[in-house]
């Protein structure tokens, strides 16, 4: 008997809470060019536990001996609550999931990988779209239906907590998708994951599919519908939020949105949308927002995937303001142009970036910050010099502003009385 039941007992008492399954260490590691060592995976898993994710998908144990060992290490440490403080009210420690294709060999390896965790989960994936059945599996719908049923039953003989993913759900014939999902629910799957594997669905369409599925299994009370979205058309986070708005109570996301091809839905964007628009969604997560910045930085450093400057939430420009109109607003009250607080997210308050669009108020504020005091006339002259410089280059650094001020000071000192 495993401990997976604890997870479900706690979750079923929290209908307004969205379970966050982080798949940075599995789908995220499938980003082209990314490969993490066992030690790096462990370090990220420890940070994910501090962040407060509910389930860590630690890897794909059947893929290599090293991957199996890494998942085992995470299960027996992070999955048993080692290395991070207990936090009041939180489900502790996170569940540990491993991905498995629908065959006994993969399921056995996955179970070997996750079984030491307090809340282990076997996550079985099997394609259901005709395209995948024909070209990838070379099997009929009837054969795939039988495999799904048998393999979920087998996994349930090992582990209480079994998730089933109907790969390429959004390009699967709906009636056949329902048939497969009904069969795996009867076989004991508790989480039904609906992957938009190739990032094909649009938010209204994906939300509708999730709504229909939530209605279909609502009466059972023990089935969770999960969203899993890829970003091929740039709408992975929008689709994930549409899934939540339509009843999904688990979402599968990655730190910084890394993952196969264009990546997965971003955990940080999803969680901050739920938090910032709480009156709209009315839902909670267990995420500790102060750990958002540190987690984003750690994953970027260890995977070598730099964040684009304009990335929402944790990009270098996410809290930076360049135009004079915006800077003036920010100086008067940050809420004029900011909807989140950088400091609450463990991020530096970037503030004002001085360039050719910047105004006098921002320039004055920057001078104060750098320790220079000027009366109005002198400030105006310094501002003209700054604007000349800004017109001829992309931005003006603090060192260059300091140089302008020092030049003005020496002119002041050298001026005849
Ligand atoms: O995108 C996908 O279909 C997946 C499954 C393995 C869940 O990542
Ligand atoms: Zn995926």
Tokens encoding 261: 């091809």
Interval 278-329: pLDDT, tens: 999 999 999 999 999 999 999 999 999 999 999 999 999 999 998 999 999 9
| Residue where one domain finishes, among candidates 276, 303, 330 | 303
Domain shared by 382 and 271, yes or no: no
Judgement on whether residues 54 and 181 belong to the same structural domain of the protein: yes
The 10s digit of each residue's pLDDT in 142-195 is 999 999 999 999 999 999 999 999 999 999 999 999 999 999 999 999 999 999
Q: Is 228 in the pocket of ligand 1 (CB under 6 A)?
A: yes
Of 230, 231, 264, the one to substitute when testing ligand 1's pocket (max ligand atoms within 8 A of C-beta) is 230
Q: Which of 3-12, 199-208, 344-353, 405-414 has the highest mean pLDDT?
A: 199-208
Instruction: Supply the pTM of this predicted model.
Output: 0.91
Q: Does residue 332 register a pLDDT over 70? A: yes
Whole-number Å distance, alpha carbon 195 to ligand 1 midpoint, is 6
Examine the domain organization and report whether 19 and 139 are in the same domain.
yes
User: Same domain for 281 and 397?
Assistant: no
Beta carbons of 384 and 344 less than 8 angstroms apart: no
For residue 290, being part of any structural domain is answered with yes
Ligand 1 touching residue 165 (CB < 6 A): yes
Residue 197, φ and ψ in degrees, nearest 5: -55, -35
User: 125 in ligand 1 pocket by Cβ < 6 Å?
Assistant: yes
| CA 323–ligand 2 middle distance (angstroms) | 39
The CB of 29 under 6 Å from ligand 1? The reply is: no
* Residue 349 pLDDT exceeds 70: yes
Boundary of a domain, candidates 303, 332, 351: 303
Distance of CA 111 to the CA centre of its chain: 25
Looking at the CA of 60, name the nearest ligand. Answer: 1
In the block, tokens 């060999």 appear at 105
Domain count for the chain: 2
Q: DSSP characters for 350-403?
A: -EE--STT--HHHHHHHHHHHT----HHHHHHHHHHHHHHHHHSS---HHHHHH
What integer is the mean pLDDT of 9-36?
88
Residue 328: predicted pLDDT: 92
**Residue 111: its pLDDT value, please?**
98
Does a structural domain hold residue 83?
A: yes
Is 407 within a domain? yes
Q: Rounded to whole angstroms, what are the CA distances from 300 to 84, 154, 205, 219?
A: 21, 38, 32, 42
Residues 6+ apart with CB under 8 A from 184: 148, 149, 152, 164, 192
Residue 93 shares a structural domain with residue 22: yes
In a domain, 65, yes or no: yes
Judge if the beta carbon of residue 197 lies within 6 A of ligand 1. yes
- Kind plus residue range of the DSSP H or E element containing 127: strand 120-127
Query: Which residue minimizes the CA distance to atom 8 of ligand 1?
Result: 27
283 within some domain:
yes
- Per the CB < 8 A criterion, the answer to whether 60 and 307 are in contact is no
Average pLDDT, the chain: 93
Q: Is residue 78 part of a domain?
A: yes
How remote is the CA of residue 195 from the centroid of ligand 2, in Å? 7
Say whether pLDDT at 3 is over 50: no
- Asked whether residue 186 falls in the same domain as residue 69, the answer is yes
Q: Are residues 234 and 115 part of one domain?
A: yes
State whether the beta carbon of 27 lies less than 6 angstroms from ligand 1: yes
Residue 309 maps to a domain: no
Give the CATH number for residue 258: 3.20.20.70
pLDDT band at 88 (very low <50, low <70, confident <90, very high): very low
Q: Whose CA is nearest to atom 2 of ligand 1?
A: 197
> What residues have CB less than 8 Å from 278, skipping those under 6 apart?
none
pLDDT of residue 120: 98
What range defines the domain where residue 397 resides? 320-413
Residues with CB under 5 A from ligand 2 (ion): 27
- Tell me: do 281 and 375 sit in the same domain: no
Cβ within 8 Å of residue 143, ≥6 positions away: none
Residue 241 placed within a domain: yes
217 and 339, same structural domain?
Answer: no
More confident residue, 7 or 54: 54
Mean pLDDT of 89-114: 92
**Residue 341: what pLDDT?**
94
pLDDT in tens, 238-291: 999 999 999 999 999 999 999 999 999 999 999 999 999 999 999 999 999 999
Q: From the CA of 28, how far away is ligand 1's center (Å)?
A: 11
Check whether 198 has a pLDDT greater than 90: yes
- Spatial separation of the C-alpha atoms in residues 321 and 354, rounded to whole Å: 8
Are both 292 and 159 inside the same structural domain?
yes
């Amino acid at each position: 008997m495993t401990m997976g039941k604890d997870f479900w007992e706690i979750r079923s008492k929290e209908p307004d809470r969205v379970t966050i399954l982080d798949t940075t260490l599995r789908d995220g590691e499938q980003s082209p060019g990314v490969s993490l060592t066992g030690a790096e995976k462990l370090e990220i898993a420890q940070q994910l536990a501090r962040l407060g994710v509910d389930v860590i998908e630690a890897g794909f144990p059947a893929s290599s001996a090293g991957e199996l060992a890494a998942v085992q290490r995470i299960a027996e440490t992070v999955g048993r609550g080692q290395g991070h403080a207990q936090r009041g009210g939180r489900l502790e420690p996170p569940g540990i999931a491993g991905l498995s294709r629908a065959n006994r060999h993969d399921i056995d390896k996955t179970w070997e990988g996750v079984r030491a965790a307090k809340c282990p989960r076997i996550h079985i994936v099997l394609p259901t779209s005709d395209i995948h059945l024909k070209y990838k599996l070379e099997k009929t719908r009837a054969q795939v239906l039988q495999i799904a049923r048998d393999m979920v039953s087998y996994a349930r003989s090992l582990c209480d907590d079994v998730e089933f993913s109907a790969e390429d759900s959004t390009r699967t014939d709906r009636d056949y998708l329902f048939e497969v999902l009904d069969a795996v629910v009867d076989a004991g799957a508790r989480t039904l994951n609906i992957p938009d594997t190739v990032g094909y669905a649009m938010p209204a369409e994906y939300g509708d599919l999730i709504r229909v599925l939530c209605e279909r299994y609502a009466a059972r009370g023990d089935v969770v519908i999960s969203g899993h979205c890829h970003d091929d058309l740039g709408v992975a986070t929008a689709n994930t939020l549409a899934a939540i708005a339509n009843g999904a109570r688990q979402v599968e996301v990655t730190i910084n949105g890394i993952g196969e091809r264009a990546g997965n839905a971003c955990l940080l964007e999803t969680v901050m949308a739920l938090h910032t628009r709480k009156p709209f969604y009315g839902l909670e997560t267990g995420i500790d927002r102060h750990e958002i910045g540190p987690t984003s930085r750690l994953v970027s450093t260890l995977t070598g995937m730099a964040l684009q400057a304009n990335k929402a939430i944790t990009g270098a420009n996410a809290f930076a303001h360049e135009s004079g109109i915006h800077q003036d607003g920010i100086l008067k009250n940050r809420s004029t142009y900011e909807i989140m607080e950088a400091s609450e997210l463990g991020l530096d308050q970037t503030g004002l970036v001085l360039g050719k669009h910047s105004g006098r108020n921002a320039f004055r504020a920057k001078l104060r910050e750098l320790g220079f005091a000027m009366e109005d006339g002198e400030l105006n002259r310094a501002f003209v010099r700054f604007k000349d410089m800004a017109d001829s280059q992309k931005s003006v650094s603090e060192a260059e502003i300091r140089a302008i001020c020092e030049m003005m000071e020496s002119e002041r000192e050298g001026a005849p009385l």
